Amino acid sequence: MSLESLAVRFGTPLYVDSADHILERLGLFQRALSGREHLICYAVKANPALAILKLLAERGAGFDIVSGGELERVLAAAPEAVDRVVFSGVGKTAEEIDRALAAGILEFNVESEAELELLATRAKKLKRRARFALRVNPDVFAETHPYISTGLHEHKFGIDIRQARRIYREAGGNRWLEAHGISVHIGSQIRAADPFGAAAARVSQLVAQLRQDGIALQSIDVGGGLGIDYHDGRFDAASIVREYVGAIESALAGFEGRLLLEPGRFLVAQAGALVTRVLNVKRNGRKTFVITDAAMNDLIRPALYQAYHEIVPVRPRAGKSRVVDVVGPVCETGDFFARDRRLAPVRPGDLLVLLDAGAYGMAQASNYNSRPRAAEVLVVGAKARLIRRRETMEDLLATERV
Ligand code: LLP
């Protein structure tokens, strides 16, 4: 598929996602887990495009949602998959809980005792028994960016694993609550398998204790978080998934129930790219700035997490590469995609592509600097389909009154 023709047809900045790549990644998880009952609950937040949700639902995936908005997306794209939805998040509102109860989701991943009480109240009110899993905080350290690490006591996520046994026992007295599973999520962009194994081992131990208490949980949800290599896209994804699943499986030995996974990034990051056009090449003192029509509002990962994304010209020119900063038009010094990066020569009008932008790219786009959000295209086989039109100036002003 020619990115150049897509850029001409749909304009830039443009997100382009590959359906085949996403399904291939889903298949890796499904095959690695074929030996046990499982459900891959795609973390909608990574890329919430309706077309992607539908694609994954058709292949049997479920979903991990964290808001009422994400629930509406699943209901709009794949209503038949609502019984494969787990609802995570530290601050669910009564309205969100009601909607999810009425829709009949698989389970609520509950992050505090107060939330469990709220869930019980709403369940009683709606006369719908609520299946829940406590999201426990296993106090496991995983090497990643501090903003996306979640598994330590000092983080806001989950319930102290030492309190969980008592809470499950107490919940047993409430007929509106069904202890369905247990969940854990230690962070995102984690490249090693060990921390996942360590977290699963702690959960597994708790599940065994609960069994002694007469509480038989049906599922263990080990969350998402498996990282990719942003520097070298050609790593062996299949063996990484096998190693990851292997670490979890060996920690869960003896558990007969269903295993839930919540991968986001690993499914969609490398399936997506951001195509942008060079507006200008500018020199200031010793520095050269390549100014693109995409900016931090389109892809905030470099600004927010000092994330690295490879940048390549769509049609490379001959000549000497140069060390440049690749920046957007937003009025902030933090609006950069790369600093002091060696890049092949580019001229105004050239197209560049930012790789591995399929996860948390479009998903975190904003209208900062009153910039309409980009369009998004899904490539299926040899066909490209617009799955999200570019925002217009009208869209930009639509919700406001003078
Ligand atoms: N489950 C829960 C409860 C989560 O909080 C997350 C991500 C996931 C699953 C999916 O994690 P993944 O497999 O995608 O690593 N915006 C950041 C990443 C934030 C991750 C938040 N939680 C980034 O651009 O790197």
Is a pLDDT exceeding 90 seen at residue 93?
yes
Mean residue pLDDT of the chain comes to: 96
Q: Is the CB of 297 under 6 A from ligand 1?
A: no
Nearest CA to ligand 1 atom 9: 224
Q: Comparing C-alpha atoms, which of 62, 69, 73 is closest to residue 33?
A: 62
Span from the CA of 261 to the centroid of ligand 1 (angstroms): 12
Same-domain check for residues 278 and 241: no
The mean pLDDT value for 55-63 works out to: 98
Same-domain check for residues 341 and 222: no
> What is the dihedral angle through the alpha carbons of 370, 52, 33, 41, rounded to the nearest 10 degrees?
60
Same-domain check for residues 160 and 307: no
The mean pLDDT value for 20-25 works out to: 98
Q: What percent of the chain has pLDDT over 90?
A: 92
Same-domain check for residues 103 and 196: yes
The mean pLDDT value for 231-238 works out to: 89
**123: in domain:** yes
Q: Is the CB of 328 under 6 A from ligand 1?
A: no
Same-domain check for residues 307 and 345: yes
Same-domain check for residues 249 and 274: no
Of the three residues 224, 240, 261, the one that is the final residue of a domain is: 261
Of the three residues 261, 287, 317, the one that is the final residue of a domain is: 261
Same-domain check for residues 169 and 237: yes
Residues pairing with 296 in the sheet: none
The mean pLDDT value for 123-134 works out to: 98
The mean pLDDT value for 183-211 works out to: 96
Give yes or no for a contact between 62 and 42, defined as CB atoms under 8 angstroms apart: yes
The pLDDT assigned to 326 comes to 98
Q: Is the CB of 92 under 6 A from ligand 1?
A: no
Per the confidence metrics, is the pTM higher than 0.85?
yes
Whole domain around residue 294: which residue ranges? 3-13+270-390
Q: What percent of the chain has pLDDT over 70?
A: 100
CATH number for the domain including 377?
Answer: 2.40.37.10
pLDDT in tens, 313-326: 999 999 999 999 99
Q: How confident is the model at residue 268 (pLDDT cuts 50, 70, 90)?
A: very high
Give yes or no for a contact between 375 and 386, defined as CB atoms under 8 angstroms apart: yes
Task: Give Cα separations from 373 to 75, 269, 364, 365, 395 (angstroms).
Answer: 23, 19, 10, 7, 10
Domain count, the chain: 2
**351: in domain:** yes
**24: in domain:** no
Q: Which of 229, 265, 266, 301 to mutate to test the pocket of ligand 1 (most atoms within 8 A of CB)?
A: 265
| Dist. CA 156–CA 137, nearest whole Å | 9
Same-domain check for residues 327 and 365: yes
Same-domain check for residues 198 and 254: yes
**Catalytically annotated residue among 114, 253, 318, 331:** 331
**185: in domain:** yes
Tracing tokens 């495009």 back to the chain, one arrives at 49
Residue 331 annotated to the active site: yes
Of the three residues 218, 237, 261, the one that is the final residue of a domain is: 261
CATH number for the domain including 228?
Answer: 3.20.20.10
Is a pLDDT exceeding 90 seen at residue 155?
no
**64: in domain:** no
Same-domain check for residues 109 and 206: yes
Q: Is the CB of 188 under 6 A from ligand 1?
A: yes
